[in-house]
Structure 1
Amino acid sequence: MDLESALAYMKEHGFRGRVNNALVISRALDRGVTVRPDRKGRVQLRKGRRKWLFHNGWSNLNHRLVTRCATQKEITSRLLRARGLPAPENAYFGADDIERAWAWAEPVLPVVVKPSDLSKGDAVHVDIKDRGAFEGAFNVVVRRSGGALIEVLGRGVEHRITTIDGEIAAATKRLPAHVVGDGITTIEGLVALKNQQRESSGNPVHKLLKLDAVAIEQMTRQGLTSTSVPESGVHVALRATSNVSTGGDAVDATDDLRPDEAEIVRQAARAIPGLRIAGFDVLLPRGSESSGPSIIEVNTAPMISMHHYPWTGQPRDVADRILDAMFVE
């Protein structure tokens, strides 16, 4: 069953969600698995005596406790470090603890200021280098989340590596929303051209770029405006975070992982009891300023559609791998 047919099936039968759910429904129906919505509109899958739930990357394949723990990012990071795996030093501070938070952050600048319990790059502030920027970021985060996680900034290229039962199913290099100069066109024009590519590609995952206040602030940091004409080959970032939901590019990198990098991720997946499906956000050394690999987050409801529909590179059928895990022959 193709994606459009699966989306139509979802609408007809009362399922919630979009592409992630449609991919699993499509693969399940092709296998003869019974698929129904539960009372919350989630995907209920049954074959023989086996019965599972799936919704937007979440699955009850994962133990309930590990799902709860993974939402607290500092706990996950501490657990990984205790297992001898590379994860950044961080600390959580309440809304009234800004002075203590700054005292922790100042000796290790630059830092990341982010919520401990939100996803999709929501309210994440990176490369914070001074007191003014720190206070601004801290106040934004605590308004959203009630507290803030302060983390040592790692250097490298962010990758999302999805694992199933301790093995790597796919890897994606995630690039922040950006355009590449041609020496002729303004940034505004480059955004319009890339958005035309987005619309004509039929890719259901990648979002249009926005020249909003966040993009303007990011350009200002680079000494640019929307009417600037970047030189040929120059990358102009429109976001600091690399989430596909904010216009980032997902580029397949499954075959680009080095053996030691892949082994670190496999060890991390196996180090967390009850974790069967996960998306590891990992900084990998891919440049002169990079440090070693660092696991910055563990997501127990990974977005699988980015692997099926990369902006460039080979599609990876992660949904099929999930069905393999659910219904072992």
Structure 2
Amino acid sequence: MPLVTSIIQKIAPQIGAVVVVEPEYELVGHITFKNGKKVFFTRSKFNINGLGSSEIAKDKGYSKFFLKHFGYKVTEGETFFNDKICEKIGDSRNIDAGFEYAKSLGFPVFIKPINLSQGKLVAKIHNKTEYYQVAKKIFKICTGLIVERFYPGKDYRIVVIDDEVIAVYQRLPLSVIGDGKSTILELIQYKQRVFFENFGKRVIDLDDWRIKHKLQKQKLNSQSVIPNGKIIYLLDNANLSNGGEAIDFTETIHPDFKKLAFNIAKDMGLRLIGLDVITPDITRPMMDYVIIEVNSAPGLDHYASIGDTQAQKVEDLYLKVLKALEVDSTGED
């Protein structure tokens, strides 16, 4: 059973709520509170955030515009569209314009779909050939893409609800650690089995072209044997849903970054957010940072898997969500 569903079923009785879960996939459910109010949920999406604000947050281009408007530092980048959209709206920002922009930023750059989640098709590109390969893949399933400047630093997520920090963690890209005898493919397959045991799903896409590309950049392939203890990164983006790992910084985040997350949530009209930010060190005063994106339905399955403390924090978050939904439903908030 998915983590969020199991948590909701566990904690709902604590506040006298009744949960009905669709039995086949167990991804969606219906909650009836003891005051008679009713709400639905699907995966990690609840009615805690307004529809308009959630839709803006989901669209990377729109959310970046408003974040910049509010005075926050955002990744420098532009949106480009496939030929069909360009023709429809009379816009010249096509795939070729995207390459010229990438060239003006200076390689490497990041390229990402405009409205997909969980790091799908996000890639770090280094030249013209790579740009067109990735852009064409994106345009097969998405109308737009974003070309962004590459920013060095550590990738963190800050999860807040209202004026409370729930979780803060550094996100590390998918990697394997050599043992001096196993091939990279064998190490990936082992990691895949561990993920499957923990989450009941295949987190790593063994056929992901980005893994092959990343290995080639390091003059490696799936049959390479890595020295004992050596870490090999397999992706450039640090999404946990792609097999990345997390290091907890909840207890050591600097107040500057707490304030940043609270202010962004308020300005974007969101009560629950996962704020993704790049900065040298989130435990020190905020001297330099850049916002990657704002997530209005942050998934916390992988964070909860770190340990019992983290799992309890996630459970506490969803209890707060249920209580907030019950109050909001009555119009008493």
TM more than 0.5: yes
Give SS of 1:160's match. strand
Matches within 5 A, 1:24-173: 24-36=8-20, 41-48=28-35, 50-96=37-83, 97-109=94-106, 110-126=108-124, 128-173=125-170
Cα displacement (A) at 1:50: 4.4
Matches within 5 A, 1:1-329: 7=1, 18-36=2-20, 41-48=28-35, 50-96=37-83, 97-109=94-106, 110-126=108-124, 128-195=125-192, 197-198=194-195, 202-204=197-199, 207=202, 209=204, 211-214=206-209, 215-273=211-269, 275-286=270-281, 292-310=288-306, 314-315=310-311, 316-317=313-314, 318-327=317-326
- CA RMSD in angstroms, aligned pairs only: 2.9
- Tell me if the contact between 1:113 and 1:141 (Cα under 8 Å) persists in the aligned partners: no
The gaps in structure 2 that reach 5 residues or longer are 84-93
Cα displacement (A) at 1:115: 1.0
Work out the percentage of aligned pairs sharing the same amino acid.
28
Q: Distance in 2 between matches of 1:103 and 1:320?
A: 48
Q: Which amino acid aligns with 2:160?
A: T
Cα gap change, 1:206/1:85 in structure 2, threshold over 3 Å: closer, same or farther? farther
Cα displacement (A) at 1:130: 1.8
Q: Distance in 2 between matches of 1:23 and 1:326?
A: 16
- Tell me if the contact between 2:5 and 2:28 (Cα under 8 Å) persists in the aligned partners: no
Q: Distance in 1 between matches of 2:259 and 2:288?
A: 14
- Tell me if the contact between 1:90 and 1:150 (Cα under 8 Å) persists in the aligned partners: yes
- Tell me if the contact between 1:166 and 1:270 (Cα under 8 Å) persists in the aligned partners: no
Q: Distance in 2 between matches of 1:311 and 1:90?
A: 37
Q: Which amino acid aligns with 1:325?
A: A
Per mean C-alpha deviation after superposition, the further-off stretch among 247-256 and 170-179 is 247-256
- Tell me if the contact between 1:252 and 1:313 (Cα under 8 Å) persists in the aligned partners: no
Cα gap change, 1:35/1:173 in structure 2, threshold over 3 Å: closer, same or farther? same
Per mean C-alpha deviation after superposition, the further-off stretch among 139-148 and 25-34 is 25-34
The gaps in structure 1 that reach 5 residues or longer are 1-6, 8-17
Q: Distance in 2 between matches of 1:308 and 1:125?
A: 26
What is the TM-score normalised by the length of structure 1? Answer: 0.81
Deviations 1:53-112 (A, max 9, x none): 322111112111111212211111111122222211222111131222222221212321
Q: Residue in 2 aligned with 1:11?
A: none
Give SS of 1:47's match. coil
Q: Which amino acid aligns with 1:283?
A: I
Cα gap change, 1:312/1:251 in structure 2, threshold over 3 Å: closer, same or farther? farther
Aligned residues: 305
Give SS of 1:77's match. helix
Cα displacement (A) at 1:149: 1.4
Q: Which amino acid aligns with 1:278?
A: I
Q: Distance in 2 between matches of 1:210 and 1:297?
A: 23
Cα gap change, 1:310/1:182 in structure 2, threshold over 3 Å: closer, same or farther? same
Q: Which amino acid aligns with 2:319?
A: D
Cα gap change, 1:321/1:154 in structure 2, threshold over 3 Å: closer, same or farther? farther
Cα gap change, 1:242/1:312 in structure 2, threshold over 3 Å: closer, same or farther? farther
Q: Which amino acid aligns with 1:271?
A: D
What is the TM-score normalised by the length of structure 2? Answer: 0.80
Q: Distance in 2 between matches of 1:259 and 1:306?
A: 25
Cα displacement (A) at 1:37: 5.0
Per mean C-alpha deviation after superposition, the further-off stretch among 104-113 and 42-51 is 42-51
